[in-house]
Amino acid sequence: MKPSPLHNKVVAITGACGGFGAALCRALYERGANIAMFDIDNAALAKQLQHYSDTTRVKTWHANVCELDSLRNAMNSAASHFGGIDVVIANAGIDLIEALSADGDDNFDRVIDINLNGVWRTFRAALPHVQASKGYLLAVSSMAAFVHSPLQASYAASKAGVWALSNSIRLELRQHGVAVGSLHPTFFKTPLLHNISGNAAGNALWGGHQKFPFKTVSIDDVVLAAIKAIEIRANITTVPRINGIIANMPGLLRRFVEGIGFKDQTIRSAMAFANQKTKP
């Protein structure tokens, strides 16, 4: 049997102990990858490690996506341990159902800081390593990037932001041989979805996820789509695949503008000016 393209590749993933993160780590391991698991929960990391027979190929690091130094330390240590990093998956995220009129103002900030800023920090910490390996960055977004539900302003904004961030960074890094993708699943069964379904407002909005267009897909479908995205270094992956129609509609004009306005030389020139501006 032909070995997987992931065989002997080093994959670092944030949110490694969540429902999707844990399932994806297992699938990557089964395809021969070496896994650097990052999570904020040390006890969960230790428990996850018990599920792997060959612990030379799996190692855990405490990492907080809200702290750049924490991610840099984990990323640098993982690269030193495994001899480099080929793929980085920004997977850590939370959800929230809350109206604009809700009391307090810190919940919105927290969702944005983890879901959006956390992806930025993860990619920033990973940059020297994926540049060295000409690797692949994958951000876990959502169909919420394209379909914006009421009562989920923070989540929809964060996931749309992740999509835009990925598109922007892809243009920035392609001249270095680094590919950038975003994964956009619909609802699928994880503890995160259970929390949403258990919420009365969420259940009213999406009808218990029993029928189109809010029907759930299996976690296996999402894992397989993520694996495929990594193997082919995809730009945008939707789950189910037919949802790509939704994703592509807002993207038609963007691709046209990229083609005529964001050529490599233009980007190199702009980055040169930006780098000069940041120097003391």
User: Minimal CA–CA distance to 88: which of 58, 133, 55?
Assistant: 133
d(Cα 149, Cα 78) in Å, to the nearest integer? 38
Q: Rounded to 5, what percent of the chain is helix, strand, coil? A: 55, 15, 30
Q: Is 136 a catalytic residue?
A: no
Residue 209 near residue 109 (C-beta atoms within 8 A): no
- Of 29, 52, 136, 155, catalytic: 155
- Residue 190 three-state SS: coil
Closest among 40, 43, 103 to 67, alpha carbons compared: 40
CA angle, 226 as apex, 222 and 230 as ends, to 5°? 170
Which residues participate in catalysis according to the annotation?
155
